[in-house]
Amino acid sequence: MLRLKILLSQWRLSWDRWPLRWQLRNLYIWFRVKYTILRIQPWPELPALNDEQKLRLSAYCQLSGPLPLPDNSTTARDISLKKNSHYGGDLLRCLYPRFLHLAFVKEFGDVNWIPDVPTFLKSRPIEGDNSNAVLLPLDVRRHMCFPHDPLAFENKRSAMVWRGAGYQPHRQLFLQQAAGLSCCDAGDPGLPAEHTQHRPWLSIHQQLQFKYIISVEGNDVATNLKWIMHSNSLCVMAKPKFETWFLESRLLPGVHYAEMAEDFSNLQQMFDYYESHPDEAKQIILQAQAYTRQFLDAASERLLTQHVCQAYFDAVSPLSKH
């Protein structure tokens, strides 16, 4: 029965992330945006948000207008799917159908700086005045992934695991700290097999067989953070420096994740501690799962993205293109 559950979970994940499915979905919304007749009459007000959604809205969009936009701002119909198609498709779904004629600024990719003008983007630094950085759920296929984990914590392998590209200096430091630790299976599958930091590639479900899964930020946020926190494994990470639609800034050490040192020097101590305090580990896992549940209701998330877009356009100077 457990094997069947694992296979079913793997199939669901493969279907959810199947590239062709997303490409067709993006093409479909692009055609709808391109050929929808623009509405002249004002749209009715959006349905109200609940208190928790209002708090998230105030975090996603912190603009206080009126604010000007540059001359090179764009509209939904200007977006092409030839490059960054997953970003473009996700942004179009946020804008459709209310905001197709309104101008905005966007920035696709790993954004680890704060823009000078109000900008829709996927990620932003947590520290500093990041009010110009307006978060939307972009590159959802890769970043908002919540596979089912059929394995209970106590039935998993008692070790830490990490797989990823290790070319950034802080990830190099992490791999150096993890080297030689029997409790830690960490490595870069993209390196040559003879390299000391090479480890074989592991799928998400293979990593879910470990009790402790390490999350290390890359160019911006760590891609694996969301699915780790939705799983029955304990998320191990340093205090995040960047955030996305997942609002990593709201995550608390010892509540939603087990906190690594900034220099990754306490991996062995953390492993030893949670091995001898499994109830604490399971409590953190339950609280992490509770945090992720707010992102699973597609209708509520869709409504919230519309409110974020509305807040953005209310704050910037009225500007439309025809």
pLDDT tens readout for residues 49-72: 999 999 999 999 999 989 999 988
Q: Cα(290)–Cα(228) distance, rounded to whole angstroms?
A: 13
Q: Cα(252)–Cα(32) distance, rounded to whole angstroms?
A: 41
Mean per-residue pLDDT of the chain = 94
Q: Cα(119)–Cα(308) distance, rounded to whole angstroms?
A: 12
How high is the pLDDT of residue 41? 82
* Contact indicator for 177, 169 with CB cutoff of 8 Å: no
How high is the pLDDT of residue 322? 39
Residue 106 CA, distance from chain mean position: 17
Is residue 208's pLDDT more than 70? yes
Is residue 102's pLDDT more than 60? yes
Which one is predicted more confidently, 72 or 237?
237
How high is the pLDDT of residue 6? 76
Task: Write the CA distances from 64 to 69, 197, 228, 306, integer angstroms.
Answer: 13, 47, 35, 18
State what percent of residues in the chain have pLDDT above 90. 86
The pLDDT confidence band at residue 103, using thresholds 50, 70 and 90, is very high
Residue 290 CA, distance from chain mean position: 16
Q: Around Cβ 213, how many Cβ atoms within 10 Å?
A: 25
Q: Cα(168)–Cα(258) distance, rounded to whole angstroms?
A: 22
Q: Cα(129)–Cα(70) distance, rounded to whole angstroms?
A: 20
Digit-coded pLDDT (tens) for 140-198: 998 898 999 999 999 999 999 999 999 999 999 999 999 989 999 999 999 999 999 99
* Mean pLDDT lowest among 10-19, 78-87, 148-157: 10-19
Q: Cα(101)–Cα(20) distance, rounded to whole angstroms?
A: 29
How high is the pLDDT of residue 318? 62
pTM, full prediction? 0.93
How high is the pLDDT of residue 16? 82
Is residue 319's pLDDT more than 60? no
The pLDDT confidence band at residue 321, using thresholds 50, 70 and 90, is very low
Instruction: Choose which CATH entry (3.40.50.2000, 2.40.50.140, 3.40.1800.10, 2.60.120.260) describes domain 153-295.
Output: 3.40.50.2000
Pairing of strands 157-163, 133-135: unpaired
Question: Domain segments of the chain: what residues?
Answer: 2-34+48-144+297-315, 153-295
Q: Around Cβ 37, how many Cβ atoms within 10 Å?
A: 7
